[in-house]
Amino acid sequence: MSGGLSSPLPGGDGTERRGAPNPEAPEDLAELIPELLPMFPGTAPFLARFLPQASPAHLGLNQLFCDLHAFLKCLHEQSWYGYLHASLGDQSAYVLLYEGRTVTAAAASATGEQALGELLNLYEQGAALAAYPLPATLAHVLSGVGSRAWKFNLTEDFTGLHARPTGAIFYARGEIVATMAATLPYEGAFPAPLRPQTLILPRSLAGWAHHHYTLTLRGRDALNAITGVHQNFRAQHGQGGLAFLRALGDKLSPAEYAMRSDVALHDLEPLVQDFLRTGCVREH
């Protein structure tokens, strides 16, 4: 276990340099394992209770002066790691970002895509939003925290969170990288996916992303390399636009294409609008 522990996480990120409460860790290494402090101790949603303290990169954002979709696009372009917290009265929603992509979320009675939608709804109603950066390793560990914990089985390459009534352990590739006093009433694990997938907004908030589109004659010409329409289309939208148009012609919805190609959904919305406006596609 020496690899991940020889370079402990830097200080000043809500950690305390106390020995990790893990009897299985060698004594000489325990002092190197940072103990993270929970940002939202005692919170009900699983994701929220295991989010570590961090200094905010952005605090007090609201819809009067910050468009949330533009902000998310900015974070995506920065490949940002961290979490967002929106609060309005006694309502809160939490969203984790990995490589600038929204990968898991939680609210009082929802997780995943529905919780992401809850954060957007709260923001539109006037909620204050804060963004807290995290080291990439911790963001990856937390990316698997959803609505339920699984039976814990420590393997050599396990990445994820092991939660117990006595505390939580953060694992990266089988090595302990941090601990936290946050607990579950039972023992369970939240394995992190090898590559976290991007959350897609629920249909109620992004109906256009779940629609199917049919190529018009102009759209088919845009994919035909011998036409002038193709030359103009490629000059405007590049290979990415051509690939997206071809996927629409293959009956993929924008949401399905975003999932398969790892493209941010908010980057596809203006393309869809332009394809409709210029008559390359029509709604199916």
pLDDT of res. 203: 59
Q: Which domain holds residue 243?
A: 207-283
pLDDT of res. 205: 59
pLDDT of res. 255: 81
Domain count, the chain: 2
Same domain membership, residue 272 and residue 224: yes
Is there a contact between 150 and 186 (Cβ–Cβ < 8 Å)?
no
Flag whether 274 is in a domain: yes
- Tell me the whole-structure pTM to 2 decimals: 0.69
Same domain membership, residue 7 and residue 67: yes
Flag whether 256 is in a domain: yes
Same domain membership, residue 151 and residue 224: no
What the block records as the tokens of 112 is 């995943």
In 3-state terms the chain splits into helix, strand, coil percentages (rounded to 5) of 35, 25, 45
pLDDT of res. 197: 87
Residues 198, 29: Cα–Cα separation, whole Å:
35
Pairing relationship of beta strands 35-36 and 175-180 according to DSSP bridges: parallel
Residues 49, 37: Cα–Cα separation, whole Å:
10
Same domain membership, residue 217 and residue 160: no
Question: What string of pLDDT tens digits covers the 284 residues of the chain?
Answer: 333 322 333 333 343 333 334 445 445 555 689 999 999 998 999 999 999 999 999 999 998 888 888 898 899 989 999 999 999 999 999 999 999 999 999 998 889 888 998 998 899 889 999 999 999 999 999 999 988 889 998 899 999 999 999 999 999 999 999 999 999 999 999 999 999 988 876 655 567 877 899 999 999 999 999 999 999 999 999 999 999 999 999 999 888 888 788 777 778 888 998 999 999 999 87
Flag whether 202 is in a domain: no
What the block records as the tokens of 226 is 């011998």
Same domain membership, residue 125 and residue 249: no
Where among 191, 224, 259 does a domain terminate? Answer: 191
Where among 145, 165, 191 does a domain terminate? Answer: 191
pLDDT of res. 23: 43
Same domain membership, residue 218 and residue 186: no
Same domain membership, residue 212 and residue 268: yes
Residues 63, 96: Cα–Cα separation, whole Å:
20
Where among 191, 225, 249 does a domain terminate? Answer: 191
Flag whether 29 is in a domain: yes
DSSP H or E run through 266: helix 265-277
Across the beta sheet with 160-164, the strand order is 15-16, 35-36, 175-180, 167-172, 160-164, 188-191
Same domain membership, residue 32 and residue 58: yes
Flag whether 65 is in a domain: yes
Flag whether 200 is in a domain: no
Flag whether 197 is in a domain: no
pLDDT of res. 30: 58
Residues in the chain, total:
284
Same domain membership, residue 271 and residue 138: no
Q: Which residues of 214-236 are buried (b: 16+ CB within 10 A; e: fewer)?
A: ebbeebebbbeeeeebbeebeee
Residues 51, 180: Cα–Cα separation, whole Å:
9
Flag whether 109 is in a domain: yes
